[in-house]
Amino acid sequence: MSGSEKSAAQDAPRQRYVLDDRGFDEVPKKYRKFYRRWGGPGDELEPNEVLCPICKVVIRSTRELRPGDRVYCMACMARLEVIVGEGGRLEADVIY
Ligand SMILES: [Zn+2]
Q: What is the 68 CA–ligand 1 centroid distance (Å)?
A: 18
- Which domain, by its residues, includes 56? 29-94
Q: Does residue 33 lie within any of the structural domains? A: yes
Average pLDDT over residues 34-51: 95
* C-alpha closest to that of 61 among 53, 51, 85: 51
Distance 45 CA to ligand 1 centre (A): 16
CATH of the domain at 88: 2.20.28
Cα dihedral sign for 24, 77, 44, 20?
positive
pLDDT at 10 over 90: no
Q: What is the mean pLDDT of residues 64-75?
A: 97
84 occurs within a structural domain: yes
Q: Is residue 5 part of a domain?
A: no
Residue 91 CA to ligand 1 center (angstroms) comes to 12
Q: Per-residue confidence at 13, pLDDT binned at 50, 70, 90? A: very high
The mean pLDDT of the chain is: 90
Residue 7: pLDDT above 90? no
Find the 54 Cα to ligand 1 centroid distance in Å.
5
Using only C-alpha atoms, what is the Rg of the chain?
A: 13
